Amino acid sequence: MSKKDLGLLILILVVGTIVAIINPRFLLPINLANTSNLIGLFGILSIGQAFVIITGGIELSVGSVVALLGTLFIDFIAVRDLDWPLAFVLIIALGAIIGLVHGWLITRLKLQPFVVTLCGLLIYRGVARFYTADGTAGFAFGQNFPELEFLTAGRSWGVPNSFIALVVIAIVMWVVLHRSVFGRYLYAIGKNEEAAKYSGIRTGRVVMAAYVICGVLTALSAIYFAMYTRSISPASHGQFYELYAIAAAVLGGFSLRGGEGSLIGVILGTVLLQELQNLVNLLGIPSSLNFAVMGGVILIGVLVDQQWGVFRARRLMVDAARKNVAGAAAE
């Protein structure tokens, strides 16, 4: 765990302690379970985003993808009576295809990631609303899918299964990002894509794979979100979720220029964001201020981190100068 991650963890614990002192309900099992469920949902989404950001890209369409794929998933199993495992596979495949198309447009046709995914944001939202004729997709009364519901919205030993899913995915993705050949390529491309290309790396494929990973994880979280809300109005479902994901990555130490950030960082970023949401509710802050609190904390976090870097660089220089003076005096 890097110093940056450790700092973030300490911040999470400090904020948690303060909230718990002011409002002890923070520590009630029901509150912790709800919060960790949300951490699970948003964490899966944010890991996907992190893989794209590490290449120096951005994926703005994930909120709309959550809406579209969530709508389709509920439609598949509730209206079209598909077996849920089949629907599950279809949705994941669709997520992969969306990622592939984005990656292809970005790497082969050299479009900017911001532009491609901004168009995606608009297109998928529009398609989702059209698909339901601006209505709501939901389950009929009495419809249930015990296994699916257990896996997505259920709990094991009191822990939400969505949170357990996040832990499993995080471990796998940690290995991929920090230990695998592919992960090294991602960092290399994020640092300097040209130099990576001149080292014989097929940069286009690697970047495309990052978008596919993002698409798959987004699709998975779309299913989790759908099963959590159980009814979806595509006009608002998943709105701004791309920003939550980007915020989690930035809080976790990712640079939007690429090449920087850790998997633990993005998870901790997600935890902090959800903790703040919870804080707004528990401390009786008007919920209309929700975004303002989040924005403020992210800004302060990034600022402190940056200033700390400047301070450290200065201190190193002063130390070196002192040593030099001491050395000269000793001569």
Question: Using the rule CB under 8 A, which residue among 25, 179, 257, 314 binds other proteins?
Answer: 179
Of the candidates 98, 108, 90, the residue with the CA atom closest to the CA atom of residue 48: 98
Determine which residue in the list 194, 288, 329, 330 makes contact with other proteins, applying CB under 8 A.
194
Q: Which stretch binds other proteins (CB under 8 A): 52-60, 183-191, 240-248, 284-292?
A: 183-191
Look-up of token digits 């997709």:
137
What mask of x and - would describe binding to other proteins in positions 257 to 276, judged by CB under 8 A?
--x-----------------
Site string for other proteins, 74-103 (x = CB under 8 A): ------------------------------
Count, residues near other proteins per rule CB under 8 A: 28
Q: Verify binding: residue 185, other proteins, rule CB under 8 A.
A: yes
Buried b (16+ CB within 10 A) or exposed e, 162-200: bbbbbeebbeebbebbeeeeebebbbbbbbebeebeeee
The strand pair at 231-232 and 137-138 is best described as antiparallel
Q: Does residue 182 interact with other proteins by CB under 8 A?
A: yes
Output the DSSP codes for 4-53.
HHHHHHHHHHHHHHHHHHH-GGGGSHHHHHHHHHHHHHHHHHHHHHHHHH
Contact region with other proteins (CB under 8 A), list: 34-42, 103-111, 189-197, 227-235 = 189-197
Pick the binder of other proteins from 197, 235, 255, 281 (CB under 8 A): 197
- What is the three-class DSSP state of 156? strand
Which phi and psi angles does 57 have, rounded to 5°?
Answer: -100, -170
By beta-carbon proximity to other proteins, the closer residue of 40 and 190 is 190
Contact (Cβ atoms closer than 8 angstroms) between residue 223 and residue 66: no
The position carrying tokens 């964490």 is 43
Site membership for other proteins, residue 2 (CB under 8 A): no
Both tokens of 28, joined, read: 């009630």
How crowded is residue 283: how many other Cβ atoms within 10 Å of its Cβ? 13
Asked whether position 302 contacts other proteins by CB under 8 A, the answer is: no
Contact (Cβ atoms closer than 8 angstroms) between residue 50 and residue 266: yes
Based on the shown chain and the rule CB under 8 A, indicate whether residue 192 belongs to the binding site for other proteins: yes
Site for other proteins (CB under 8 A): which residue of 167, 175, 283, 292?
175
- Decide: is 301 part of the binding site for other proteins (CB under 8 A): no
Least separation in angstroms between CB 207 and other proteins: 13
- Among 121, 188, 232, 251, which residue sits at the site for other proteins (rule: CB under 8 A)? 188
Parallel/antiparallel/unpaired status of strands 137-138 and 155-156: unpaired
Least distance (Å) between residue 151 CB and other proteins = 28
Residues at the interface with other proteins (CB under 8 A): 175, 179-185, 187-188, 191-192, 194-202, 204, 259, 320-321, 323-324, 328
